Amino acid sequence: MKRALVALATALSLMTSVVPMAGAGQSEGGLSTDNVEWVAHVPFEVGTATGARVIGKYLYVTTWRSFSIYDVSNPEAPELLSITPFLGNDGDPSPIKFENEDVATNGEIMIFSEELPDSVLHVWNVEDKTAPVQIASLIGAGQHTMSCILDCKWLYGSDGSIVDLRKPTKPKLMKEKWGDDMPAGNSGHDVTEVAPGLVLTSTNPMMFLDARKDPRNPKLLAISEQMTGFVHSNQWPNNAKDRWALSTGETWVPGADAVCDENSAGFSTHDTSGYKKTGSFKLVDTYVMKGGTYADGSPAINAPFGCSSHWFQQHSTFENGGLVAAGFYNHGTRFLDISSKGKIKEVGWFLPHGGGTSAAYWLSNRIVYAVDYQRGIDVLKYNGKF
């Protein structure tokens, strides 16, 4: 999210109980297609639930004031284990720490990369899920997102930093701008470790890097076609062996993105076939939202977040095509089917009441968590085909 989102944060108290669905109707949490069921709601601080990650049976969720850990052994009823507030330098609760929306953890340590108000990298020990402890901080290393590489022994930042985390209590900034000599430079939003030591950057163009032999100096293997607009996030399913690499963009104009058209950021497929010879990926298809009505799942008014794509995740059965769940801000959660030819088709959606969906994550074959800036988490059940 853009820095201006900080202005949307409020001073509401934490609410952490799970609110189950009162009846079988789908109108309790929002509107949806017949194949998507709203199951439960997990409230958060309004305006701040930004991202999450599932490791084993645990869910890690960050906000701008705290992070929380849940036991999701039963995905339909997550159990809160801890809420850890971020503290200021004086030890008092910090009003805002922005933003690490892409949660970086291996289940033993967790990274919070504070871009604003200070550039600080925070390292937390989360082995005890009920009582996380901060074990280190590194001034000057905080960026918009920070990603674990090689089981969190190394960190890659969105703006090009490389941190040696082989000793988690003593992080070392090894390089400030790893992309200086590469096609996209250091102007990224995120990086994704798509296989151990193999990294796909959310830059324009996207860059496929090999960090296995020398994490300080990753080797460029391939790039995507130049895209229109900002690249927000990516995935390359099946440990970078799938035919399709996937990406989203982001277009966000606070309170003003009332028109959804071909210029809105969307979800894209990239053909990686033959990249070892060509050194490139081919853009195949892009899905964007269009304005309409609430009844058809495409509201005409898109304030305050707009209809942009954001974080997404493919289904566990994805193989050279398949199902994806994606957050689309004021247009909620979209379920997209990717054909064997890389073409994209919407097959379901959930539109929350008063929401701004940041991300969608699969917790099981059927259960999806929709992380929402204004609502917290909506627990959804996809009853369609995959």
Domain boundaries, the chain: 3-382
Domain 3-382, classified CATH 3.30.1300.10, yes or no: no
Regarding beta strands 79-85 and 98-99, do their DSSP bridges make them parallel or antiparallel, or are they unpaired? unpaired
Distances (CA, A) of 24 to 214, 216, 349, 368, 381: 54, 53, 17, 18, 12
In this structure, of 103-117, 141-155, 177-191, 204-218, the range with the lowest mean pLDDT score is 177-191
* HEC letters along the chain: CCHHHHHHCCCCCCCCCCEECCCCCCCCCEEECCCEEEEEEEECCCCCCCEEEEECCEEEEECCCEEEEEECCCCCCCEEEEEEECECCCCCECCCCEECCCCEECCCEEEEEEEECCCEEEEEECCCCCCCEEEEEEECCCCCCEEEECCCCEEEECCCCEEECCCCCCCEEEECCCCCCCCCCCCCCEEEEEECCEEEEECCCCEEEECCCCCCCCEEEEEECCCCCCEEEEECHHHHCCCEEEEEECCCCCCCCCCCCCCCCCEEEEECCCHHHHCEEEEEEEECCCCCCHHHCCCCCCCCCCCCCCCEEECCCCCCCEEEEEECECCCEEEEEECCCCCEEEEEEEEECCCCEEEEEECCCCEEEEEECCCEEEEEEECCCC
At 21 the pLDDT is 38
**Mean predicted confidence (pLDDT) in 85-114:** 84
Residue 122 has pLDDT above 90, yes or no: yes
**The predicted structure's pLDDT at residue 116:** 82
pLDDT tens track for 294-324: 778 888 767 777 889 999 999 999 999 999 9
* pLDDT the model gives residue 198: 98
* 11-42 pLDDT, tens digit each: 333 333 344 333 333 457 999 999 999 999 99
Distance between CA atoms of residues 168 and 172, nearest Å: 9
Which among 108, 154, 134, 116 has a CA at the least distance from the CA of 6?
116
**CA pair distance 349, 325, nearest whole angstrom:** 9
* Average pLDDT, integer, range 156-178: 94
Percent of the chain with pLDDT over 90: 67
Each residue's pLDDT tens digit, 187-244: 789 999 999 999 999 999 999 999 999 999 999 999 999 888 899 999 999 999 999 9
Which amino acid type is present at position 183? P
Q: pLDDT at position 89, please?
A: 65
pTM tops 0.75, yes or no:
yes
At residue 9 the predicted structure's pLDDT band, cuts being 50, 70 and 90, is very low
CB atoms within 10 A of CB 301: 9
* Residue 253 pLDDT exceeds 70: no
Residues 6 or more apart whose Cβ sits within 8 Å of residue 120: 114, 137, 138, 139, 140, 141, 142
The pLDDT of residue 13 is 33
The CA-based diameter of the chain, rounded to the nearest angstrom, is 57
Nearest to 160 by CA among 178, 135, 185: 178
Measure the CA–CA gap between 70 and 73, rounded to whole angstroms: 9
Confidence band for 264, pLDDT divided at 50, 70 and 90: confident
Q: Decide if pLDDT at 328 tops 70.
A: yes
Q: Taking Cα atoms as reference points, which of 18, 14, 13 lies closest to residue 38? A: 18
- Confidence class for position 282, pLDDT limits 50, 70, 90: very high
- Report which of 282, 316, 311, 315 is spatially closest to residue 372, judged by C-alpha positions: 311
Q: How confident is the model over 43-76, as pLDDT tens digits?
A: 887 667 888 999 999 999 998 888 999 999 999 9
Rounded Cα distance between 352 and 160, Å, is: 36
